[in-house]
Amino acid sequence: MKKGSYLDIYGYFKERILNGHLKAGDKLPSLRQVSIKRGLNTTTVLKGYEMLEREGYIFKVLGKGSFVSKNRDFSINTDNQLILERALITEEEKKNLIDFSKDEIDLIKLIGLDLKNIMLKVLVLNDNIFEEENLKGSMSLRDVIADYLEDSDIFISSGEVVVLNSSQQCLNTILKLFFKKKGDINVVVSDPTKYKALNIFKERANVKGIHLLDDGWDFKDFEEVLKKNKIDFIYESFSYQNPSGIVWSDEKKEKLLKLAEEYDFYIIEEDNNSDLYYLEEKPKSLKSYDRAGRERVFYVKDLSKCIHKEMKISYMIVPPIFKERLDFEVLNFEITPGNFTQKTLEYLIKNNIYTESLKKIREKIKIRYKYMIAHLKKIDGVRLMYNPGGGRSIWIKLNRNIDEKEFYYLCKKNGVSFLPGAIFYCDKRIDSKIRLSFIGIEKDDIEKGLNIIENTIKEMNCKML
């Protein structure tokens, strides 16, 4: 068990319960045992245990401790089993697998950024590096982020910025701001949409999916939903949407903001891909259209996705109307990353290292992107759903007679992994689609992996004859 927040405690034991390592009736370690092992105070551990108890994973016996519940079905559906399977893959297995599911950037490997030396400089420059910072994040980092965003036509005060560990944590915090019972929150997402966000929303809200066209949502469908339901918020990535790669048109972004005012809903914009443009100009964020004094957009950015997966840091911009409620949530939960991580990010942005690194990343990944598009177009039985011009992945459709799950397991057996399309849909439909990421794979491995995919398609087609 690694050190972390109450959410890490909750996630660690939840995973062990779901995968069967902890069975019904098993006793959990005491608060004191966990706090010593992880270097946390017992209050933090208690919060994690309380969250597990609220969701029915464990129960308490006075004077004896906490135990795994017997009266709840902890089984997960086959799509989530597949996600869990992928997350638990061993380092040994990874060596023999070309993984098209990876979508994180590693600046150390990709462009040779000397992150270790940068972190040593940060240690030397900051005498107070291990002192506790503001609950919403380092004030100096929030100032730097606010200044940095001006280049993207986002004009905000540093007081509107909140620094957190991950985009998932941002989404969980936003859900709490609406202060409703589970099942009373109504959320609208693209169909398909990012599977991690979808799973978070489905645990706590009613989720409705809207068909995605080449330039954004089908507004006929969306306006029908608005007329029939009180929507609390919508969630979307407007630039190189995950998994489709679609970029919303400026006209549709503006129309969405008008509808938000008319029907009184808010918008979560997760913007992790807009910096990864290869064939065109950087797309404008929805937040850049948000009107001062009438803000409707929660803007979320996960910076670990463009630096290194172990440097867990994200930020969000929250409409001022939610300030008091947000301060209350931040006060009650330990959700900001360590000061060392924050100061490292501040150094990267302030000294222009982050911006220059992004330029180098784009040049390097553009080669992989072009190569992958060209190769996919030559494979019989594969259709590109959209040619994005940026982002991290390609959304493709297989021949309808190919079962995507069977295809997934056969490819994995042959040495290739990717994400099957079903996990991205609200209804988990089987539609013979898969997502292939090119961001974390060298060109030679892209060629080998796509050859395996092509041969697997031929193998499955032969079985059907």
- The pLDDT score that the predictor gives to residue 78 is 60
Residue 2: pLDDT band (50, 70, 90) is very low
Question: Exposure pattern of 265-304 as b/e (b: 16+ CB <10 Å)?
Answer: bbbbbbbbbbbbbbeeeebbbbbbbbeeeebbbbbbbbbb
Section 1-28 average pLDDT? 81
Question: Exposure pattern of 144-162 as b/e (b: 16+ CB <10 Å)?
Answer: bbbeebeebebebebebbb
Distance, in Å, from the CA atom of 200 to the CA atom of 195, rounded to the nearest integer, reads 9
Residue 407 belongs to what H/E stretch?
Answer: helix 404-413
Residue type, 300: V
Q: Is the pLDDT of residue 213 over 80?
A: yes
Section 12-27 average pLDDT? 86
- 160-193 pLDDT tens trace: 999 998 899 899 889 888 866 556 889 999 999 9
- Enter the DSSP assignment of 312: -
Tokens, residue 151: 């280049």
- The pLDDT score that the predictor gives to residue 77 is 60
Residue 76 belongs to what H/E stretch?
Answer: none
Lowest mean pLDDT among 90-104, 207-221, 256-270, 393-407: 90-104
Tokens, residue 97: 């697998």
Residue type, 42: T
Among residues 329, 325, 270, the alpha carbon closest in space to that of 298 is found at 270
Section 429-455 average pLDDT? 91
∠ CA 445-449-453, nearest 5°, is 170
Residue 427: pLDDT band (50, 70, 90) is confident
- 107-142 pLDDT tens trace: 888 888 999 999 999 999 988 887 766 778 899 999
Length of the chain: 465
Distance, in Å, from the CA atom of 94 to the CA atom of 231, rounded to the nearest integer, reads 42
Phi and psi angles of residue 65, each rounded to the nearest 5 degrees, phi first:
125, -160
- 228-253 pLDDT tens trace: 999 999 999 999 999 999 999 999 99
What domains appear along the chain, each with residue ranges and CATH number? 6-68 (1.10.10.10), 78-103+356-464 (3.90.1150.10), 126-351 (3.40.640.10)
Distance, in Å, from the CA atom of 424 to the CA atom of 68, rounded to the nearest integer, reads 30
